[in-house]
Structure 1
Amino acid sequence: MTDQSNTPCPLSFKGIPYSDIINRWFSLAGGEPVEGERNDKLHRLASHLRYITDNNEETLLQIMPRYGLPEKEMKGLIHSACSAKWYSVPKLMQEACRGVSHTPECANEGTNEDVCADVSGRMQYAPTVPPELPKRLPKLIRLLVSRTPEVYRPAVAHAVFPSLATHLHQVRFKYIDNVEHEATLMNVLMAGTGAGKDCISEPINRIMADIRRRDEVNLRREREWKEEVNSKGANKDKRQRPEGLIIQEIDADMTNPAFVMRTAEAEGHFLYTKMNEIDQFDALKGSVRGRQQFQIMCLAFDPGNRYGQTRASAQAVTEKVTIRFNWNASTTIQKGKKYFARVLTDGPISRINFCTIPEREIGADMPVYGKYDAAFDEELRPYIENLNRATGLIDCPQAYKLAQEMSAENAEWAVLSQDRVYENLSFRANVIAYLKACVLYVANGEKWEKSIEDFVRWSFHYDMWCKLEFFGEAIKEAMDQDKRPLYGRHRPGRRNLLELLPDEFTHADAVRARRTAGMSEKGTSSMLRQWVFRRYVTIVTNNNYQKLKFKA
């Protein structure tokens, strides 16, 4: 396409020849430069390429197409581009890198500067797309997405976990902090109007089929009892409420007293509901100005929680219960942001697993579903039976080890990015990922597969991408009331600050890197001490440092 040789350029960015990236960039930018726009377009290309060449003028001179410009003019053009103020990676360059992704390390995450897992599994977060679903999936997930159009599969792969975990009864998993958790998993699907959010319904219906059959028996017993009680006069002896009314799937618009009653009668089983809109949760909020629905979200995730109500009336519900509540909800992105706007730092967001559906191109073909038939149900049955049979404290050493590794990676990334929002969200996101690993392990007959590890890593990074994309800026502002000015279109948790610095740098360089990332000068000294302690850098002189890791 360009006037470069057809032979791939030996210089590359994360395994992708720069020539391929440049070709893709031109296709996205409206084609190669024509007469009258040569200088402007090449200057723009250089301004974008510098973000993936360490701002190195010599490298740019080697890889840039000339289109007849003399060497001296090219040098001046490149120098001008590299001298401009440093911002975040331009969206066009991100798209160009992603469009030609084919490196082994980044095959699943999209190869660009902002979304690429390194060998340890860490991932940076792009402002445009979540990480792609791994090609190799655990057998249960592969089955559950097998009838789902490809565009919906990541959402379904997340959304099935609350209903799967609802089958576990008094099953516990010890997390790396020595706290025992039951598999509390809550999922919110945030996507645009008409995006296809109902894609999660049929897989969940199939998973919940056995619980619904058991519930129907007890719902019938409850109806018969109510009819009997209502048929008797006020002074007649009335039969007590039947025992053993375990009804796990509750109505989305259930009131708070009814929720407490169902929880008390569940005998340690999980309750479950699927809400078509997140604001259906408001039925649980108690008084007009109450916010008990958010309290329930938080308590459900926390082991050993206690919740209930005390009423004077003999007919009213008076109970103290441990909440075991898994649920799915859907919402538009705008409504979801508004719904959680007043509890950004109160805990619900970090305890919930989020997913999304990418916006399709206008005029794109309608996604076509496969058939959910008896063969699908029969293939699903043994996984559900394994979940129903499980009991007690279950040890999964591979999931435990994975949680330890991911926790260490998250801590390292938090130190490198100096992002408090990322760190805070990563703590519980790691617990959620661990519980998913344990659910898959139990469903698979307590057998571990490498595909479970790959899937759980992806699940964590996808969840974190959604949280940072939908709530990151708002959480940062809520945590940082002085609202320091941001430079460029920065979003929290995206940048490794060491990568913004040369191999040898000064304290002043570190200050500039923080400002580029939208941070204040305050905290620079603390950051450098952490880097020295973790052996990312070494001190050369008082205010001079040298990288030991992440060298250019």
Structure 2
Amino acid sequence: MKYDISKTTAPKMPNLGHGLESVALLLSQVSKDMHQPIVPMLFPILGAHVSGAEFMYPDLSWKEPSGMLANLVADSGAGKGQLSNIVEAICRDFRSHDDDELAKLVEWQKMMKTKSANKEKPARPDVAFWFPPADVTNAAFIQNAIGCEKLGQRTQYLNMPEVEMADRVCGGHRQISQMMRNIYDRQRAGALRATADGVTGNPTLRANITISSTPFAARKFYKNELFNGTFGRVVFSYKPRQGRDGRIPRQGKYDDDFYLRLDEYLARLAICKGRFIIRPLNRLIDQLAADMASLADLADDDTLWDISKRALVSAWKAGCLLWALNNQTWTKPMGSLVEWLVYHDIWSKMQVFADMLGQDEGSVSEAGRRGPKNLLDDLPDSFNEAQLEALRISLGKTKEGTNAQLRKWVFRKFIVHSPQTGLYTKTPEYLHGVTSDNIPKNK
């Protein structure tokens, strides 16, 4: 593990080296202050350009690059609007396709009006909008999902400039949890209904969604979704408030040369079809899963462990898209970016929701933390059980969890126990390997 996610400073994104030329291109017209916040938001957009491809996750399940949900969180005036600019650039082909689909509907409606009441009405044409408007209703969203499933099992993509727009798509705020989980898990809509034309309305939900919001709006919107699995399914990208430097960030222009190069990458996504196993990516995810378990044990933080599981899946899907964009070839810099995506997601969640995440089941006193705290780092190189117990109590953790935490640390070879002295001592591997290179010290 390379990143210290206990600090208020965002984990620094690695250099965009070999294999990440597509990401560098997409950022080329974005102001520099928005590079890191924008990167995690790119993948739901790109994922909607893939249909007919599945990838094997390390658990041996097959997954599509659909169900990708991401929320950009930043204060008002911080530059969130640049996301909509890059969305329009990437989805230029979607707009063209949807214009043709809309023309079909307009023509059908004209024909409907010309038919008298006793004449047979023409059947509604099969249409599928790939980039529906952000204010689409739940009924229209499901109807479009039917069309997308019937016409090539396409993924529809929605970009919502305000988080509250998700209520309309999901059919009300009470349906947010079920709908977003169904989208993430590629489940059926659960809206089976009978009509004059027969039974309809229960398509597989293939949708990718990006959302923009302020920290206040995000906290208000997700406050009831933090512990039911919905929250973990959404990738968060947080931009902290910047200093008052008095300089207006500069954006670039999406010119013909940009679109010519972009279309080459989008074509690589379009031709990616079949089933694939990206072995170096899967090995990386296995390693990151072990790192997340170690970090959760050091912090004795079940919430961190829970949200890390889906952070790994989301970053893995991004890795699958990077592989396709790079002519189905894997590189080391791509692995570095996937690793950063995991930590940036968790860091963002902790920055925006830390106090709220500390309010479940007896953990209220941990409210106000800004990230997972490495408890072992706050202890001397040799310590006894009472010292850890006192540290846990000072942080609002239970006294009863002390022995279990010590056993985990011994099992992971972070510490060794001396029966003669009763002391626990940090191992050389922890002091010189884990702490300095893998698990950052919390100072």
In 2, the alpha carbon distance for the partners of 1:419 and 1:492 equals: 10
| 2:369 paired residue number | 490
| 2:102 paired residue number | 219
Match of 1:240 among 123, 127, 137: 123
**Structure 2 letter corresponding to 1:451:** P
- Given that 2:6 and 2:371 are in contact with CA atoms closer than 8 Å, whether structure 1 keeps it comes out as no
| Structure 2 residue 177 is the aligned partner of structure 1 residue 286 | no
| 1:114 paired residue number | none
- Structure 1 range deviating more: 213-222 or 424-433: 213-222
Taking a change above 3 Å as real, the CA distance of residues 472 and 363 of structure 1, as seen in their structure-2 partners, is closer
**Structure 1 letter corresponding to 2:3:** M
In 2, the alpha carbon distance for the partners of 1:152 and 1:475 equals: 26
In 1, the alpha carbon distance for the partners of 2:257 and 2:30 equals: 15
**Structure 2 letter corresponding to 1:240:** A
| 2:211 paired residue number | 329
In 2, the alpha carbon distance for the partners of 1:359 and 1:195 equals: 8
| 1:532 paired residue number | 410
Compute the displacement of 1:319 (Å).
Answer: 2.0
- Structure 1 range deviating more: 314-323 or 502-511: 314-323
Compute the displacement of 1:383 (Å).
Answer: 0.9
Taking a change above 3 Å as real, the CA distance of residues 419 and 492 of structure 1, as seen in their structure-2 partners, is farther
In 1, the alpha carbon distance for the partners of 2:6 and 2:381 equals: 25
| Structure 2 residue 5 is the aligned partner of structure 1 residue 125 | yes
Larger RCO, structures 1/2 (Cα 8 Å, 6+ apart): 2
Match of 1:204 among 55, 70, 87: 87
Normalised TM-score (structure 2): 0.91
Residues 99-498 of structure 1: matches in 2 within 5 Å?
Answer: 121-137=1-17, 138-184=20-66, 185-243=68-126, 245-267=127-149, 268-286=153-171, 291-303=174-186, 305-314=187-196, 318-477=200-359, 479-480=360-361, 482-486=362-366, 490-493=369-372, 495-498=373-376
**Structure 2 letter corresponding to 1:225:** W
Q: Give identity over the alignment, percent.
A: 29
- Given that 2:71 and 2:235 are in contact with CA atoms closer than 8 Å, whether structure 1 keeps it comes out as yes
Taking a change above 3 Å as real, the CA distance of residues 258 and 143 of structure 1, as seen in their structure-2 partners, is same
In 2, the alpha carbon distance for the partners of 1:378 and 1:387 equals: 15
Compute the displacement of 1:324 (Å).
Answer: 0.8
RMSD: 2.0
Compute the displacement of 1:123 (Å).
Answer: 2.4
- Given that 1:155 and 1:356 are in contact with CA atoms closer than 8 Å, whether structure 2 keeps it comes out as yes
Compute the displacement of 1:529 (Å).
Answer: 1.3
Taking a change above 3 Å as real, the CA distance of residues 358 and 533 of structure 1, as seen in their structure-2 partners, is closer
Cα-to-partner distance string for 1:235-283 (whole Å, 9 max, x where unaligned): 320111223x222111212222211111111131101111110101111
SS in 2 for 1:125: coil
| 1:551 paired residue number | 431
In 2, the alpha carbon distance for the partners of 1:274 and 1:484 equals: 35
| 1:118 paired residue number | none
Normalised TM-score (structure 1): 0.73
Compute the displacement of 1:315 (Å).
Answer: 6.4
Compute the displacement of 1:546 (Å).
Answer: 2.1
In 1, the alpha carbon distance for the partners of 2:163 and 2:113 equals: 34
In 2, the alpha carbon distance for the partners of 1:328 and 1:472 equals: 22
| 2:381 paired residue number | 503
- Given that 1:476 and 1:492 are in contact with CA atoms closer than 8 Å, whether structure 2 keeps it comes out as no
In 1, the alpha carbon distance for the partners of 2:142 and 2:364 equals: 44
- Given that 2:285 and 2:316 are in contact with CA atoms closer than 8 Å, whether structure 1 keeps it comes out as yes
In 1, the alpha carbon distance for the partners of 2:398 and 2:50 equals: 47
**Structure 1 letter corresponding to 2:430:** F
In 1, the alpha carbon distance for the partners of 2:389 and 2:118 equals: 80
Compute the displacement of 1:232 (Å).
Answer: 2.2
| 1:5 paired residue number | none
Give aligned pairs, total: 424
- Given that 1:441 and 1:447 are in contact with CA atoms closer than 8 Å, whether structure 2 keeps it comes out as yes
- Structure 2: 5+ residue runs without aligned partners? 433-443
Compute the displacement of 1:336 (Å).
Answer: 0.8
Compute the displacement of 1:440 (Å).
Answer: 0.6
| 1:518 paired residue number | 396
- Structure 1: 5+ residue runs without aligned partners? 1-120
- Given that 2:134 and 2:159 are in contact with CA atoms closer than 8 Å, whether structure 1 keeps it comes out as yes
Compute the displacement of 1:122 (Å).
Answer: 4.0
